[in-house]
Amino acid sequence: MDDTTTAPVRQRVTLRVDGGERSLEADTRTSLLDALRDGLGVTSPKKGCDHGQCGACTVLLDGRRQLSCLTLAVAADGGEVTTAAGLVREGRLHPVQQALLDADGLQCGYCTPGQVCSAVGVLAEAAAGHPSHVTADLDADVVLDEAEVSERMSGNLCRCGAYVGITEAVLRAARDGGGSRP
């Protein structure tokens, strides 16, 4: 029997995480989620299913929402990663975070960091005119309503079922200009 197994390949990965440059040496098979949590100690993104089905690990990668459990850390090398914790500016919550509190859009809070990042991404996508599956007129401006928000946030699960509050929070943030900054 021929033993041709080789050691894992490791590579230096540099990311700009929540405004600061961070580097680590990672196995090339390491997910961005594991690099953030285990390699850099950034625990805002949560490990829910580790299969891209729950959205708890959602971060903003170069301004777009991304499931960090399905993204290889080496593929994100050089990228700008924003977590829910990184959305706080000078001690002030991001408008989406404030709207989630005001609309009672959380219960246990485990999914909240992913919900926040996804909602920020949703607002940016809508502001850029990107249609969703339920957008009626693909040539008109995107109007966020309950159906649009529910469709766009459908990749983020909440075990507690706080969807009514989450949807209301995204709509509030949209009305209050919450998509104006990442």
What range does the domain containing 59 cover?
10-83
User: Per residue in 31-76, pLDDT tens?
Assistant: 999 999 999 999 999 999 999 999 999 999 999 999 999 999 999 9
Residue 67 shares a structural domain with residue 96: no
Residue 141 shares a structural domain with residue 96: yes
Q: What is the pLDDT of residue 8?
A: 84
Report if pTM > 0.85. Answer: yes
Which residues have CB under 8 Å from 23's CB, separation 6+? 12, 13, 14, 15
CATH number at residue 119: 1.10.150.120
Alpha helix segments (H runs only) across the chain: 32-34, 40, 95-102, 112-127, 146-152, 163-175
Residue 21 lies in a domain: yes
The number of folded domains in the chain is 2
